[in-house]
Chain A
Amino acid sequence: MPRVPHVLLIEDDASVRDGMELVLRRHGYAVDTAATGEDALALLARPAGHDVELAVLDLMLPGIDGFEVCRRIRASGSAIPVIMLTARGDDSDIVRGLEAGADDYVVKPVTAPVLEARIRAALRRAEPVRVRPGEDTYAGLVIDRAGLTVSKRGTPLPLPPTELRVLLELSASPGQVFSREQLLRSVWEHDFLGDSRLVDAAVGRLRAKIEDVPAKPVFVQTVRGFGYRFGPV
């Protein structure tokens, strides 16, 4: 009996919500739905809500909007992947959504295969990986590759899966430069011309948590014109 992935759909339009639910159920997902951000947050707060492994979140919602819902999901300490559904595909929406803590986004209308591919990739990022067993320490930053935890000067730093995966990927080969395209392929599994802003946003969120001075990063450094590099610390 394969494990059934549990997805929460947050979408105010009934037809879109039902369509997504129909397709995902047919393809073997357990689906919860919410028509508003408030309902979604209430559902996640209930014990049953702890089974939810991923949220598909529409940005245009009555009441509190998708950006705010995303921020509150993150603020509650939940690290579930969030895929934003944006009807506009406007750059400003995408950037705001990613800053609010979304891991990926799809533009409406989206085909079922694309949505599913994104969901699968996001869920895989949340699974334990064994990049390289062991524990690495860099100037007070401890990355436990076995336990998939990160702590700084003894304080645990909870990281959402996408950010953790970016950190593991970069720190597996300290000093090596990774292009945004490489990271999109390895972390997001985008096998198409993805959006490098996903990488920039995830790196930005990661820096905000692990760097002393996010504007002057030590661990995740930018190599202008090429990409990112872990260290040298």
Chain B
Amino acid sequence: MLVAVVSAVTATGLAYRESRNAVLERKQDAVRTDFKNRVDQAAADLAVPPDEVSLTRFAVGVADGLGDTVVVAEYRTLRASSDASADRTRISRALRDAVRTRNRMSFQRVDRHGSPYLVVGTPVTFDSGTPSGLDVYAISSLRAEQDDTAGILDAVRDGLLPVLLLTVALALLAARTVLRPVRELGRATRRHAAGDLTSRVVVPKGRDELADLARDFNDTAQALETSVDELREQEAKARRFVADVSHELRTPLAAMTMVATVLDEDAAQLPPDTAHAARTVSAETARLSRLVDDLMEMSRFDSGAARLNLGEVDLAETVRNTLTLRGWTERVRAELPPGVRAVVDPRRIDVAVANLVGNALRHGAEPVTVTLAPGGDWVTVEVADRGPGLAPDVLPHVFDRFYKADSARTRSEGSGLGTAIALENARLHGGTIEVANRPEGGAVFTLRLPWRRGEGAEE
């Protein structure tokens, strides 16, 4: 749109300048040719040195046939003009110098009293080329030409407005029919990329390529939306199923867990085989409960139902509680600087740290070290062991659900969801867990949390 207007104006301006120049050039060329011819003709009859009479006759002779032109002839100090009333000051010193010193025809445009004139000066040379001392000047009015160009300008001005309007109309039309649909397609595509699969474009009327493109876009978007919806539906179903199954398992497990105590308490009075069976049932019931707990927790993460229950705590205290509760104080070396207060969900931090430490105790080798390190915007809790470390092919799968590093390995006491749950808990806080092998041996898990400091102010 803007481009159209600018180009119209520019083109008109350029056209005007071009035409004006062309008109003046033509006049200049005409004057030059005619003038030269007249001077050559008249100079042949002029005896040198001339007197005033012969010089005047010469000037008149040159002027004859040049139309509205005054001719001034100068020989040293002698001056003659074809028109006595002519104003000779129109011959500027600069022009005179140019004619005399450079010994060639020269031009100058001058303005006198608002009228433009073209002054042409030429020296008259002998056939040998040496200057004869005679200079001739023709002063012709450019008024006609100025009127011409002014006419052009008016025409251009009058023509410009309709042209501009037309240009604007055309630009709008182009924008409507081409640019707008293309831009809309771009917008719709970007919305798609941002995850809004419902975005569609208005199909322009007509049977051109743009309409086809818009239709294709809409069809593709529709197909994509449908298949994504189906996938999501399936995924939601699968998740609901896991959650429902876990939930259904809870009731029988609740009953079993409750009475398992009775089996444990009375096992000592039972025959050996029965006692063994009773203890096994009790232990496996406890493990099944843990697994179902972890499954439920995982399905809460998957469904987005997991919420942070934030409070400001002393992280050293939180980690120490985690170790104490599980009876790990003797087996784990803890470096917990006091005074690291942070806003976290203590239950979830407990779960994450417990999973990492439990993992290290099961799969690594003691001593296991837990190190709390505050630093800038982050707080890290590092859990390191002195075991063999993790094989390179295992590293990327450490956080996978139910991943068994050694398929032949007997089941550990963990649910197989420990590290995955730890990672989800870290993510819920906006943090992460990194795993690596230490150069001096052993694996190290680093829980990295954004350090949100409490306000400590009163409500």
Give A contacts to B, CB under 8 Å: 13, 15-16, 18-20, 22-23, 26, 85, 87-91, 107-113, 115, 180-181, 192-193, 195-197, 221-226
**Neighbouring B residues of A180 by C-beta, 8 Å:** 311
Question: Can you sample 17 A-B contacts with CB below 8 Å?
Answer: A13-B251, A15-B251, A15-B252, A22-B258, A23-B262, A87-B247, A90-B300, A91-B305, A91-B309, A109-B289, A109-B292, A111-B260, A113-B261, A180-B311, A193-B325, A196-B346, A225-B457
Q: In the bound complex, do residue A196 and residue B289 qualify as a contact, i.e. CB atoms below 8 Å apart?
A: no
User: How distant is the Cα of A15 from the Cα of B312 in the complex, in angstroms?
Assistant: 41
Closest A residue to B326 by beta carbon equals A192
| 5 extra A-B contacts, CB within 8 A, seeds A109-B254, A109-B256, A109-B289 | A15-B251, A26-B265, A111-B257, A196-B346, A197-B309
Q: Which of B251-277 contact A (CB under 8 A)?
A: 251-262, 265
Q: In the bound complex, do residue A225 and residue B251 qualify as a contact, i.e. CB atoms below 8 Å apart?
A: no
User: How distant is the Cα of A112 from the Cα of B454 in the complex, in angstroms?
Assistant: 38
**Neighbouring B residues of A226 by C-beta, 8 Å:** 312, 456
What's the interface size class on B, roughly? Answer: 35 or more
Q: How far is the CB of B361 from chain A (nearest CB, A)?
A: 19
User: How distant is the Cα of A42 from the Cα of B454 in the complex, in angstroms?
Assistant: 48
Is B458 engaged at the interface, CB distance under 8 Å to the other chain?
yes
Q: In the bound complex, do residue B457 and residue A109 qualify as a contact, i.e. CB atoms below 8 Å apart?
A: no
Q: In the bound complex, do residue B258 and residue A91 qualify as a contact, i.e. CB atoms below 8 Å apart?
A: no
User: How distant is the Cα of A180 from the Cα of B311 in the complex, in angstroms?
Assistant: 9
Which of A26, A195, A224 has the most chain B CB atoms inside 10 A of its CB? A224
Q: In the bound complex, do residue B455 and residue A111 qualify as a contact, i.e. CB atoms below 8 Å apart?
A: no
User: How distant is the Cα of A16 from the Cα of B293 in the complex, in angstroms?
Assistant: 17
Q: In the bound complex, do residue A224 and residue B458 qualify as a contact, i.e. CB atoms below 8 Å apart?
A: yes
Q: How far is the CB of A197 from chain B (nearest CB, A)?
A: 6
User: How distant is the Cα of A22 from the Cα of B266 in the complex, in angstroms?
Assistant: 13
Is B350 engaged at the interface, CB distance under 8 Å to the other chain?
yes
> Which one, B309, B341, B347, contacts A225 given CB within 8 A?
B341
Closest B residue to A17 by beta carbon equals B255
Which of B255, B265, B347, B455 has the most chain A CB atoms inside 10 A of its CB? B255
Q: In the bound complex, do residue B261 and residue A108 qualify as a contact, i.e. CB atoms below 8 Å apart?
A: no
**Neighbouring B residues of A221 by C-beta, 8 Å:** 458-459
Q: How far is the CB of B279 from chain A (nearest CB, A)?
A: 15
Q: In the bound complex, do residue B254 and residue A16 qualify as a contact, i.e. CB atoms below 8 Å apart?
A: yes
> Which one, A19, A89, A90, A196, contacts B258 given CB within 8 A?
A19
Closest B residue to A225 by beta carbon equals B454
> Which one, A18, A85, A88, contacts B247 given CB within 8 A?
A88
